[in-house]
Amino acid sequence: MITGVLSLLTGLAYVGLALITVYELVRHRRTRGFSHFGLGFAVMAFTCGPHHLVHAWRHLVAGEPVHGPMLAAVALGAVPALVFIGLRVEAAFGGRGDRLVPGHRRALPILAWAMACVAGATLWESAEHAASMGVDLRALVPNVILFVNFALVGYFTARSQAARRPLLGGWSLSGTSMSAVFFTCATSHLVAGLLTAAHPSSVLFDNLGVPASIYFMWATYRLHRDSARDWNRRPLVGRPAPQGRRSPWAEQTT
């Protein structure tokens, strides 16, 4: 029951984020130009949302049993998702859309390491279950690709946040929560691939998500390498406005 409800909320949140992103793409197309990152985020969210909604239907309506690692994986991503979604909604209605966490506080790094340990234990238990019960390759293969791509997106965004910290004097709450969203999303996809049997709807959206995730990962990588002018180089962090400073994605301060 809990897993189904969390999957339902997560799926609705992704669809909502996709709609917000499309709205911003259309609204700012003349002043900010085309955004590969924004389009990549939108198509990614439009495939991830239905993925979670299908799992919600399978658990809440079809009565599919829930494995412990599946619940842990979905619950692990709930907190960063709520923070990130709340900030995006705030920005969409003209609010700040971000907060600065002072760099001297150790709670955020400790929380990140704790989440990484929980994710590792969840994946280990999923792998043990899959080794004993077998896996459905139709479900596993696309989710392995999604795991890799979303983990890379999480890595790129986390590394950029670490590079920005000395300049800002702290951590961007929007940026760090986005990194956590993609790390936990990667974990959730891999756990789903290891523990669930293929369903026509799941196979459809997971395979559609593969090219979407590749495109989004490519757009994120270009911003990470500071090789693209995209949304004033300030993707999904705070309010959309021209910035009189260096790109927050840049790693060098010179």
Domain edges within the chain: 2-233
What pLDDT score does 124 carry? 93
What pLDDT score does 2 carry? 84
Paired strand residues for 172? 100
What pLDDT score does 117 carry? 92
What pLDDT score does 230 carry? 60
What pLDDT score does 248 carry? 43
What pLDDT score does 231 carry? 52
Paired strand residues for 171? 101
Q: Residue 111, class by beta-carbon neighbours within 10 Å (0-12 exposed, 13-18 middle, 19+ buried)?
A: middle
What pLDDT score does 81 carry? 86
Contacts (Cβ under 8 Å, ≥6 apart) of 89: 20
The CA-based angle 146-183-161, given to 5 degrees, is 125
What pLDDT score does 97 carry? 83
What pLDDT score does 249 carry? 43
What pLDDT score does 212 carry? 94
Q: Has this prediction a pTM greater than 0.85?
A: no
Alpha carbon distance 249, 252 (integer Å): 9
Q: Which residues of the chain have pLDDT under 50?
A: 227-228, 232-233, 235-254
Alpha carbon distance 33, 82 (integer Å): 29
